Structure 1
Amino acid sequence: MFERYSDSIRSLVDRSLNFLGVPYRFGGTSPITGFDCSGFVGKVFADALGFGMPRTAAEMAQMGEQVKINELKPGDLVFFNTMRRAFSHVGIYLGNYQFVHAPSSGGVVRVEDMRISYWAARYDGARRVLPGAGVRPTQTN
């Protein structure tokens, strides 16, 4: 079971890094036309693990189990308040306080450090949603 979980994490992280440089696009869900933050996370989870995610960061924040910042593991979802509302931005934690995300208009999918002042001031929490980690994926329509 642990090896399968490790393989899932490896697949998720590898897939997320394959999209580095893809442009940000509001409402975007495709590496061809661009991603917004939740579109990026949804595409990575669908490609790497084969299950659907809710469409918005706020909906994703309702999934899985809450994780304390000092217990983060690669593959966990990290959330930020970037639009003056809780859980308005999401990324995928990579380890060592690094996360990958689709940042904002004019940006591209990239890796950033959660400890820099901008992200640290806006951190909203994290969720663990990986299958095999005691969390059941949601059904998609």
Structure 2
Amino acid sequence: MIKKFLFSTLIVLAAFSATFAQSKTKEAAKVEDPDNLASQYFSQVMGVAVNATSNLKLYKFIYEWIGTPYRFGGNTKKGIDCSAFTKAIYDKVFNTTILRNSRDIFSMVNPLSKDELKEGDLVFFKIKSRSISHVGIYLGDNRFAHASSTRGVVISNLNEPYYSRYFYKGGRIIEPGDKEFIEE
């Protein structure tokens, strides 16, 4: 009788243990990997192709800032402008210090046409101005991340009529080892 009771108890405990292990596995599967979340967000929602050659650190950084409101002169998640957003990306993602405003940042690049742009390059705009007034970071597939004065930090398409109209040039930061780099 005692053997039957112990055997029955052992079976119940084994079943309970298996059920508990299954539920933990299901819970763990529900918790998404942050890298996977960022990849899914850019690939599916924003239409940016995130692949094995992409800089996932760049996409994660942008993902964390999406929706941050625009604030001229701002540089925090309470509000940020285009050049501060670009500067933050270069500081945190590329470990490169760039200047603070879009015109000064342009002085640090080799100018590029749209068809020469690669992920991480900069895009410059002359919006209702004769001088550069806006900057963003190119992601590929004509998409770029920036702090829009009307929508905050967003992903936009260079082919949208507004951005196509005001696009000035792309640019790639000149590295200090490059012979074209000029120290100020």
Structure 2 match to 1:91: 136
Identity of matched residues, %:
31
Write the mapping of 1:101-120 to structure 2, written as runs, cut at 5 A.
101-104=146-149, 106-120=150-164
Structure 1 match to 2:68: 22
Give, in angstroms, the shift of residue 84 of structure 1: 1.1
- Partners of 1:119 and 1:48 lie apart in 2 by 25
Give, in angstroms, the shift of residue 51 of structure 1: 2.4
The size of the alignment, in residue pairs, is: 133
Q: Please, which runs of 5 or more residues in structure 2 have no aligned partner?
A: 1-51
**Relative to 1, partners in 2 of residues 1:54 and 1:28: Cα closer, same or farther, differing over 3 Å?**
same
1:73 aligns with 2:121: no
CA contact (8 A) 1:97 1:114 kept: yes
Match of 1:121 among 153, 165, 168: 165
Aligned residue for 1:102, secondary structure, equals strand
**Relative to 1, partners in 2 of residues 1:119 and 1:59: Cα closer, same or farther, differing over 3 Å?**
same
1:53 aligns with 2:108: no
Give, in angstroms, the shift of residue 17 of structure 1: 3.0
The higher radius of gyration belongs to: 2
TM-score calculated relative to the size of structure 2: 0.63
- Partners of 1:44 and 1:135 lie apart in 2 by 25
Higher RCO (C-alpha under 8 Å, 6+ residues apart):
1
Counterpart code for 1:90: V
TM-score calculated relative to the size of structure 1: 0.81
**Relative to 1, partners in 2 of residues 1:73 and 1:29: Cα closer, same or farther, differing over 3 Å?**
same
